[in-house]
Structure 1
Amino acid sequence: MQNHLKHELHDVISGKSQVRFGATIQAVASYLSDGTQASPKIEDTKQIREQETKRLENFISEKDLWINDIDFSQYISEGAEQRVFLKDANHVLKLNDAIYYSFWKDYFNNLLLHNFFFPDTAYQLIGFTKENTILYAVVQQSYVAITQNTDLEQVKAFLGSNGFINTRNNDYFNPYLGIILEDLHDENVLTRNKILYFIDTVFYITKEFWAENKDYS
């Protein structure tokens, strides 16, 4: 079962398998995969990120993915990595500069993993915007109205039943899948009618993700 899941995730990340709202995300990630490290002599992460951002902006222009009509008056909140705006009664827009990730491709992989595991709150990548020279991905997500405070022990139990071990505070790791899932505090996991809704996740893929698991039952 776990082995099947891992191969399924491989197919999603590589673009071989579909996931909710995944087409645009996979297209962008695939484009970056073709030349994220265009110059093999460049080892500095910052330089690689700058190269990647330039390539990404070229792709955005080619595919007409620039968004210039965001209503900033509908501001709701913000965290370290993103700002949130109300789009309508059922959706929010989130502007994310991928600051939690060394490379943009890792951010897009995060979106794909989120959409795979939590389709009820799947991110729809609708475009990009730029403000003060900073590039932001613009994603749309369903608005979740909470009915009660989130019990973090319930979050821990739910993730534990799905193979994610609590490593510290609100961070988790699935040793079989080789996936880290962080920052699941009660503002990133909401509760509506006793059901958990994961609205903001931070997934990281480790080298174990691509390794074959031979010893399993």
Structure 2
Amino acid sequence: MDIKTVKDELQNIIHGKSDSGQKTLIQTIANYLGGSQRTSTMAKSDKQYKQKETANLIAYCNQNNLWVNDKVNFDLFISEGAEQKVYIKDDKTVYKLNDSIYYSTWLDYFTNLALNNYFFPDTTYSLVGFCLIEQTLFALLEQPFVKANQPTNLEQVKEFMANNGFENTRNHDYYNSELEIILEDLHDENVLTQDGILYFIDTVFYLKQ
């Protein structure tokens, strides 16, 4: 598959277009936020931009019944990072609550999810809905539960990424110059190994501006 075809596919995914006519909730939300972005007069770097974006998302959730606070059993908490809290759903799936803190906009965060699902379908995110907890908005996601049974070899990660066009730029960060995609933070807590296979469970994708 040539680079132009891949770029076209990625643009279709990010903007909620699909050859099958099916659209995931992630793509629906990204499409909604993209429309709001095009009509906004504020710069994305403006701190008030994300506040406005969050208010728009809350209104959208109210209009479309996307609140799912009752889905999570908060007693089944298993881990927490700077960006998200993880809970067990069942023996095959985890819930992840994420407030998009790593991203300047919610649209950038949902673009990250769409890119993860394209590049790493074994750890696809599904958007369940949204939770409002102590006045903070969280996206609630499902993801396959991966139980590591051996340490991750970071040289193997580097080789895997190189074979897929991503150059290691520094530490655990990578860049694909043809697709203009940045992928950060691929350390051994975000890439797990099960039976010799790498599973990318927490990705931080950015499109180069």
- Shorter-chain TM-score bucket reads over 0.9
> What is the Cα deviation at residue 121 of structure 1?
0.6
Q: Kindly provide the amino acid, as one letter, of the partner of residue 16 in structure 2.
A: G
- 5+ unaligned residues in a row in structure 2: which ranges? none
The residue aligned with 1:13 is 14
- 5+ unaligned residues in a row in structure 1: which ranges? 208-217
Instruction: Normalising by structure 2, report the TM-score.
Output: 0.93
- Judged with a 3 Å threshold, the aligned counterparts in structure 2 of structure 1 residues 60 and 148 are, in CA distance, closer, same or farther, namely same
The residue aligned with 1:57 is 58
Instruction: Normalising by structure 1, report the TM-score.
Output: 0.90
- Distance in structure 2 (CA, Å) of the matches to 1:142 and 1:169: 27
The residue aligned with 2:120 is 118
Q: Secondary structure of the residue that 1:35 maps to in structure 2? A: helix
The residue aligned with 1:151 is 153
Q: Secondary structure of the residue that 1:48 maps to in structure 2? A: helix
> What is the Cα deviation at residue 39 of structure 1?
4.4
Q: Secondary structure of the residue that 2:24 maps to in structure 1? A: helix
Q: Which runs of 4+ in 1 moved over 4 A?
A: 41-44
- Distance in structure 2 (CA, Å) of the matches to 1:190 and 1:204: 21
> What is the Cα deviation at residue 139 of structure 1?
0.2
> What is the Cα deviation at residue 90 of structure 1?
0.7
Q: Of 196, 205, 208, which residue of structure 2 is paired with 1:206?
A: 208
CA-based RMSD of the aligned residues comes to 1.7
Q: Secondary structure of the residue that 1:99 maps to in structure 2? A: coil
> What is the Cα deviation at residue 37 of structure 1?
6.2
Q: Does the 8 Å CA contact 2:44/2:50 hold for their aligned counterparts?
A: no
Q: Does the 8 Å CA contact 2:93/2:143 hold for their aligned counterparts?
A: yes
- Judged with a 3 Å threshold, the aligned counterparts in structure 2 of structure 1 residues 41 and 178 are, in CA distance, closer, same or farther, namely closer
The residue aligned with 1:86 is 88
> What is the Cα deviation at residue 33 of structure 1?
1.3
> What is the Cα deviation at residue 206 of structure 1?
1.1
- Distance in structure 1 (CA, Å) of the matches to 2:38 and 2:5: 31
The residue aligned with 1:171 is 173
- Distance in structure 2 (CA, Å) of the matches to 1:112 and 1:43: 20
Q: How does 1:60-79 map to 2 (within 5 A)?
A: 60-69=61-70, 70-79=72-81
Q: Percent identity?
A: 51
Q: State the Cα deviation string for residues 39-84 of structure 1 (Å, max 9, x = none).
A: 4156762111111111111111111110122211101001110000
Q: How many residues align?
A: 206
- Distance in structure 2 (CA, Å) of the matches to 1:43 and 1:201: 22
- Judged with a 3 Å threshold, the aligned counterparts in structure 2 of structure 1 residues 41 and 48 are, in CA distance, closer, same or farther, namely closer
